[in-house]
Amino acid sequence: MSTILNTPITCPACENVFVAPIADSVGANRAPHLLDAVLAGTFHRFSCTRCHRAVQVEKEILFTDFARGHWIGVFPPEDEPRFQECGELVTSTFHEALVEKAPAFVATWAPRFTVRVVFGVPELREKLICLHNELDDRAIEILKLDLLADRPELVERGVVALRVDGVIAEDGAIAFVSRPFPDASIAAPPVAFLVPRDVYDAVLAALPALADAHAEMFAGPYVNVLRYLPRGAVPDRGSPRASVERRIWQPSRA
Ligand SMILES: [Zn+2]
């Protein structure tokens, strides 16, 4: 299901309030234009009607693509420190919908699904670029660690985190861009570069040997090296299932 509601949006730059179409969830097969918008980087991105700045709306969304087998819970970037709780919520929602309360023929689909949790629409876009190009996102995350370790010039330029931006059709090279930390405490300068496909292939081949060292990231829905950031106390934002606007996490009870 993808229900679109015209919703008041407050521009963070000028506090102008304008109305924009906001999706509560995205079903990629019934609403392929929403999938296209995510991949194009235009999903939930609007121009303020007064100051014309770009406003990226972030909210909780359940993204599903039954044809390709993708089940991705999207949370606002500020929820990233709560990745454990959010990941468990996405996983249990998936199990309720496709295993426990699903008709027998639907339950047979479950093993082929990739279940993930992401924080922010740009991270959803990155995850879909990987999935659509048959890139193993675990290998991509390990590759990010290698790139930052092997390229001191990136760290010298202030780059602290990377994001996949695309795949070159001709040779399979992977385009990376710098990205801010989830809480935007460290703003990364814009850096973009290509990584040859054989560099990724080498990481992919080495993946089995890394399974123990990265057991939680490899087994759970939050596949992102940012999970290794040092953190203070995880902010308490309440039980996600408690509020009405979060009923997307109760698909079998709706
Ligand atoms: Zn504005």
Per-residue pLDDT of 55-78, as tens digits, reads: 999 999 999 999 999 999 999 988
Residue 1 or 206, more confident:
206
Give the pLDDT band of residue 106 (cuts 50, 70, 90).
confident
CA of 156 from ligand 1 middle (Å) equals: 34
C-alpha dist (Å) from residue 65 to 40, 153, 198 = 17, 39, 29
Statement: residue 36 has pLDDT above 80: yes
CA of 54 from ligand 1 middle (Å) equals: 8
CA of 47 from ligand 1 middle (Å) equals: 8
> pTM for the complete prediction?
0.91
pLDDT on residue 107: 82
Per-residue pLDDT of 128-139, as tens digits, reads: 999 999 999 999
Give the pLDDT band of residue 253 (cuts 50, 70, 90).
very low
CA of 3 from ligand 1 middle (Å) equals: 26
- Per-residue burial over 182-206, b if 16 or more Cβ lie within 10 Å, else e, is beeeeebeebebebebebbeebbee
Statement: residue 164 has pLDDT above 80: yes
CA of 212 from ligand 1 middle (Å) equals: 48
Query: Which residue pairs, CB below 8 angstroms and at least 24 apart, start in 194-198?
Result: 194/168, 195/143, 195/147, 196/171, 197/171, 197/172, 197/173
Strand, coil or helix: what is 189? coil
CA of 77 from ligand 1 middle (Å) equals: 21
Per-residue pLDDT of 4-30, as tens digits, reads: 899 999 999 999 999 999 998 899 999
Q: Whole-number mean pLDDT of the chain? A: 89
Statement: residue 246 has pLDDT above 90: no
Per-residue pLDDT of 176-195, as tens digits, reads: 999 877 666 666 678 999 99
pLDDT on residue 100: 84
CA of 56 from ligand 1 middle (Å) equals: 12
CA of 20 from ligand 1 middle (Å) equals: 13
pLDDT on residue 155: 83
Quote the crossing angle between the two packed helices 121-132 and 32-40, to the nearest 10°: 100
Strands (E), 168-248: 174-178, 192-195
